[in-house]
Amino acid sequence: MGILNVTPDSFSDGGRYNGVEAAVEHGTALMNDGADIVDIGGESTRPGAERVDAATEIKRVVPVITGLVAAGVPLSIDTTRAAVAAAALEAGATVINDVSGGLADPGMAAVARDAGCPWILMHWRGHSREMTKLAVYDDVVAEVRAELRERVDAATAAGVDPGQLILDPGLGFAKTAEHNWQLTRHLGAIVELGFPVLFAASRKTYLGRLLAAADGTPRAVDQREAATLATSVLAVAAGAWGVRVHDVRDTADALAVWRASGSPRLEQQR
Ligand code: PMM
C-alpha cells in the first residue's frame, strides 16, 4: 500500500502533493512502482494535529480520487469519517482505511456494510491531540489484540461481513516507541486473530529516535527508509498481509528478496 497524503501538515510527505495534478501524478507513480493499492488521506493524524472538518477533507481527496480512478489506480480512503468514506467510495475508492477502527464515527460501520468493501480497522484510543496520554498499557500486545477483537465484534454486530475486515496494530497511535517494538516482536499474536494484518511503520517517529545522532537529534523523516524497509520485511515474515509505505519501489525490492530466499517465516517471541 502506497501512501498519498493530500494534507498541508502530514508529518512525512505533508504539503508535497497538495495540487491535484501533482497528487495524481504521485499516486500513479506509486502504482507503477508496485503498489497494489494507494491510500489517500486528507486529514493529518500526526501526534498533536488539529482536525479539519469533513467538507475540507472531501474537497481535498475527491478530485484526486477522480483523477486516480481515471488513471486506473486502486484506492483506499484514509479517514475516520463516514461522510468522507462515502464520498470517496462514490468517487471510486474501493477500500476504507479507518485509523479509529470504527470508534470515531458511529456511522462508519453502515457505510462499510452497505458498500460491502474491505474495511481496515486500526487499533486506536483517541484523536491525535490526546493520544500521547492514552499510551498506557500493562501488556500492550494483549490489550491491542483484545481491543482489535472488540472492534471486529462491533463491526460484525453492525452487519459488516467479517471477510472484509483487515486489522492494523496502529504503530505510533497511543503507543510509545517501546510499545511499537513490542508489537513488532509479537506481531504473530495479532495475525493469530485470523484476519489479514496491515503493518504501517513507514518513516514514523520511533524510527527517527532509533537512528538518532549522538547528540540525540532524531534522524530526519526522509532518511528513515532503510529502517522502514527492515520493519516491512520483518512484518511480512511474521505474517503481515500488507505494509503501508511511502517508498513503494524499495519495499517491493526488499520483499522480492525475501520471497526469492524462500519466504522464511520469522520465529517470534511468545
Ligand atoms: N498511520 C498514519 C496514517 N494512516 N493508516 C493505517 N491503517 N495505519 C497506520 O499506522 C496509519 C494510517 C500516519 O502516518 P502518515 O502521516 O505517514 O500517513
Q: pLDDT tens across 49-87, in order?
A: 778 899 999 999 999 999 999 999 999 999 999 999 999
The rounded distance, in Å, linking the Cα atoms of 76 and 182 is 28
Q: Into how many domains does the chain fold?
A: 1
Q: Which residues pair with 98 in a beta bridge?
A: 121
Can you give the CATH number for the domain in which 146 is found? 3.20.20.20
Residues annotated as catalytic are 204, 244
CA distances from 53 to 14, 71, 80, 142 (A): 18, 28, 11, 34
Among 217, 170, 219, CA closest to 198:
170
Name the burial class of residue 239, with classes exposed (0-12), middle (13-18) and buried (19+) by CB atoms within 10 angstroms of its CB: middle
Provide the phi-psi class of 72: left if phi over 0, else alpha when psi is between -120 and 50, else beta: left
Q: Which of 36-45, 83-92, 209-218 has the lowest mean pLDDT?
A: 36-45
Per-residue pLDDT of 3-15, as tens digits, reads: 999 987 655 565 6
Q: Is 84 in the pocket of ligand 1 (CB under 6 A)?
A: no
Cell numbers 517470534 correspond to 268
Q: How far is the CA of 234 from the centre of ligand 1 (A)?
A: 18
Domain membership flag for residue 72: yes
Give the C-alpha separation, 95 to 38, whole Å.
10
Give the residue-averaged pLDDT of 155-160: 98
Domain extent, residue 20, equals: 2-201
Look up the pTM and report it. 0.95
In this structure, is residue 263 part of a structural domain?
no
The answer to whether residue 135 sits within a structural domain is yes
Instruction: Decide: 11 in ligand 1 pocket, CB within 6 A.
Output: yes
Specify burial of residue 217 (Cβ count, 10 A radius: 0-12, 13-18, 19+). Answer: exposed
110 assigned to some structural domain = yes
Rounded-to-integer distance, Cα 222 and Cα 208, Å? 10
User: From atom 17 of ligand 1, which residue's Cα is the shortest distance away?
Assistant: 12
